[in-house]
Amino acid sequence: MTTIRDRLWQQYQEAAQSVWNLPPADRGDERTVRLPPLARPDQRNRPRTVLVHGYKDDASVFDPLASYLSELGLIPYAVTLEPSDCSVPLETLAQQLAHFVETNFAYDQKLDFIGFSLGGIVTRYFVQRMGGLARTNRLLTVAAPHFGTWMAYASNLPAAVQLRPSSAFLRELNADAELLDSVPFISIWNPLDLMVLPSLSGRMPIAANLAVWTLRHQDLITSPRGMRAIAEQLLAQPESLVSPASPEQLNRPPLQRRTASKTFELQRQS
């Protein structure tokens, strides 16, 4: 298993290096983090923002994003879930998130949630299964493997098994994902993501899906382009959010039918 993991990591590094030759969409965008063209919110009425990290990370991974959001007038709270190395089930990490919310916020306080990578699935579990929906003002998942990732086959640890494509955990979580229809739900994904494979697993049929092209997985929360995309969705009024009702989303079959054959569905989404 160690040999397989090392080989996958080497392939990932080689693939990541190869995309450096691709020209960025706009070089000027990457020099500085520009403020979104939106008014600063009234902090007295603005929901707090909870940031949930991913695999082998802690709250410090959000330092650049938290600083940027604070400059915009938002109030971010980054949580550390441990251990985040997949050695415990995702339900255990979701319980820690629930404890963090209960400890730091009033019971009736609405919150914006940002879940990155593995943290996006942990956040969804908390929202869908642990009463977090009643606390949610807005849900953003960033580079979250909603339908699993092939990279999870590199480990037999509990959470890694849960993050494999077609795992029992993900099938069950996606079966009632329509619960998220009651809140603004945005899934930010990266078509070049080499940790979420296939990258279309970062899309969610019922979410407003926003593609942000960055060179690496973590760039979605650390690069100027990624941070700006997150801030724009947090600051936008509901009517200005990316709309899930695009032509390809209209008149689609129910989610349970769409996820019955995940491989086909992921291939046909654009």
Residue 128 and residue 180 in contact, taking contact as beta carbons nearer than 8 Å:
yes
pLDDT tens digit string along 59-98?
A: 999 999 999 999 999 999 999 999 999 999 999 999 999 9
The H or E element spanning position 55 is none
Q: Which of 51, 176, 231 lies closest to 123 in space, CA to CA?
A: 51
What is the value of pTM for the model shown? 0.76
For 149-160, b/e burial (b = at least 16 CB within 10 A) is bbbbbbbebbbb
Q: Alpha-carbon distance 67 to 62, whole Å? A: 8
Residue 121 and residue 80 in contact, taking contact as beta carbons nearer than 8 Å:
no
Residue 137 and residue 109 in contact, taking contact as beta carbons nearer than 8 Å:
no
Domains of the chain and CATH, by start: 43-268 (3.40.50.1820)
Residue 118 and residue 163 in contact, taking contact as beta carbons nearer than 8 Å:
yes
pLDDT block averages, 10 residues each, the chain of length 270: 62 48 38 46 74 98 97 96 98 98 95 98 98 97 98 97 98 97 97 96 96 96 97 81 46 36 33
CA terminus-to-terminus distance, the chain: 34
